[in-house]
Amino acid sequence: MTPGDQEALFNTGSNTILNILNLIVISLGYGGLVLMTCISLHTLRIALFICCIVMLLSFTLYFLYDSVSILAYTFEDFVGYTDVATVVWLEIGFVTAKVLILMGDVIVVWRAWVLLPGNLSGKVLLTVLMLANIGLNIADCVEDYVSVSQVAIGIVPALDWISYAASLAINISSTLFIVWKFW
């Protein structure tokens, strides 16, 4: 066995271990989401149940995307990013991840809206932040679709971290409004 073969075997083994750990964590999250959906159905909260179903469907697509991608990268040589099916497959992963993030943000904003019935300025601020977040995530999906070849060589588009920062800002502001309400 040559040193190049040993290095390739080591890289494949370490990537496989990380991918299996990734699948275990995703599976735990998926189980929690299924439990949350069953609880929302049992308590007959229709709006929460609809949000949970949308998140469950998106998470199912993302779980399938991640699982098949891991199997494809582990057991086969990857064809490349020029194949149309590969580009569509990558876009499924980008879009489902963004839908999950947006649904989580919608639930957080909705919770803040319910707990702040008389605070119009807080509701306006949360609405503006949520609309900006939706726009950023749509623009990020479009940019990811356009720049799939750049992601393949390791260049991270600028909107990725900006959309995550917007989501973090929404979660922080909603939490602060809720803390302020109960203070």
Domain ranges of the chain: 1-78, 80-183
Alpha-carbon distance values, 78 to 26, 72, 85 (Å): 23, 7, 12
Integer Cα distance of 130 and 104 in angstroms: 11
Percent residues over pLDDT 90 in the chain: 0
Does residue 162 surpass a pLDDT of 80?
yes
Angle between the N-to-C axes of helices 46-75 and 84-115, in degrees from 0 to 180, rounded to the nearest 10: 150
pLDDT grade, residue 96 (50/70/90)? confident
pTM > 0.85: yes or no = no
DSSP 156: P
The tokens of 26 are what? 């995703």
